Amino acid sequence: MEIYLPIAEMSVHWLIILGMGGAVGFLSGMLGVGGGFLLTPLLIFYGVPSEVAVATTASHLTASSMSGVISQWRRRAVDLKMAAVMIAGGFAGTIGGVYLFAFLRKLGQIDLVVSASYVIMLGTIGSIMLRESIAAVRAARAGQPLTAPGTAHHNWVHGLPFKMRFRQSRLYISVIPPLALGFVVGVLSAIMGVGGGFIAVPAMIYLLRMPTNIVMGTSLLQILAVTAASTILHALDNYTVDIILGGLLVLGGVVGAQYGVRMAARMRGEELRLLLATLVLLVAVRLLYGLIATPSDLFSVTVGTP
């Protein structure tokens, strides 16, 4: 049965949308990522206008990070203070990002910027992860113990001013890096429709040196707040949040995520990372192809006021 989306102003098959949400939910449950980086391009390939795709994915991420935060909260794996600092940066970034989004849309360059940022982000992260996970898989096959990244070493981050104590993370560091990290994630969320966990998690582990078990919950709480803000701002400025589309995606997503989590329990960590890296690189290559290949029609038409 086809269903009409009142904001996207198009009809879609509800099973396809549920399936999309389910598939992305499955992967995000399995790989521990939000899945925004997959969902936004998928929706755009399906024909949803890119501004609706970005804004609606943000509301989808609100739901998935909500259930994530609850389960992490039960394990007391959320550093509230750290999350609050990152959220403060995140709100500033989201506001800036939504205005940048509206400005780029006016210039007609929003599709280019969205695609190009995806290519750069995903390409970089995918390559790093691929290298790391291949090394890890090889090491595991050869039976060698892994050398864990050192957490005791101090880096440049510890030389910055405005230090603050984060009890739960057992850190005494400057507030500038978490603020800046939150800001970057906020901008990404507004422009690309992603939660930004794939940036925030590695940065929190390697740059801020937070304990790994707290990173996930803290990052999820920040994603929850930032995507909620992003949803409201997109609804206010661009009228692009489609509640029906969002609801269908969430329904598919929450079910898919549960199966993904169970699947993950049966797989090895380094294999999961290898899979994620491959996926990330595939999306990047597909988007890069879209930028380079000669389009079938050089002209594009937008209806409405510029």
Q: Which residues bind other proteins (CB under 8 A)?
A: 1-4, 6-7, 9-11, 59-60, 62-68, 70-71, 108-109, 112, 116, 228, 231-237, 239, 241, 243-244, 246-247, 250-251, 254-255, 257-258, 291-295, 297-306
Both tokens of 43, joined, read 């929706």
Return d(Cα 105, Cα 37) in angstroms, integer: 20
Give the nearest distance from C-beta 276 to other proteins in angstroms.
Answer: 22
Comparison of 142 and 303: residue with beta carbon closer to other proteins? 303
Give the nearest distance from C-beta 232 to other proteins in angstroms.
Answer: 4
* 8 Å CB contact between 189 and 167: no
Q: What does the angle CA 166 – CA 33 – CA 47 come to, to the nearest 5 degrees? A: 135
* 8 Å CB contact between 270 and 133: yes
Q: Give how far Cα 290 sits from Cα of 99, 112, 172, 205, 301, Å.
A: 26, 10, 45, 33, 17
Radius of gyration of the chain (CA): 19
Q: What is the DSSP letter of 294?
A: P
> For residue 31, which amino acid is it?
L
Q: What is the DSSP letter of 170?
A: T
Comparison of 26 and 166: residue with beta carbon closer to other proteins? 26
Comparison of 48 and 192: residue with beta carbon closer to other proteins? 48
Both tokens of 125, joined, read 């992260």
Give the nearest distance from C-beta 51 to other proteins in angstroms.
Answer: 13
Comparison of 57 and 133: residue with beta carbon closer to other proteins? 57
Give the nearest distance from C-beta 43 to other proteins in angstroms.
Answer: 16
Both tokens of 110, joined, read 């929003």
Give the nearest distance from C-beta 28 to other proteins in angstroms.
Answer: 13
List of residues 6+ apart from 302 with CB closer than 8 A = 108
Give the nearest distance from C-beta 306 to other proteins in angstroms.
Answer: 5
Give the nearest distance from C-beta 178 to other proteins in angstroms.
Answer: 24
What is the four-CA torsion angle of 113, 177, 63, 118, rounded to 10 degrees?
A: 20
Comparison of 72 and 218: residue with beta carbon closer to other proteins? 72
Return d(Cα 67, Cα 209) in angstroms, integer: 25
Comparison of 68 and 178: residue with beta carbon closer to other proteins? 68
Give the nearest distance from C-beta 234 to other proteins in angstroms.
Answer: 7
Is 90 strand, coil or helix? helix
Comparison of 38 and 52: residue with beta carbon closer to other proteins? 52
Q: Pick from 184, 230, 248: which is nearest to 6 by CA?
A: 248
Comparison of 168 and 230: residue with beta carbon closer to other proteins? 230
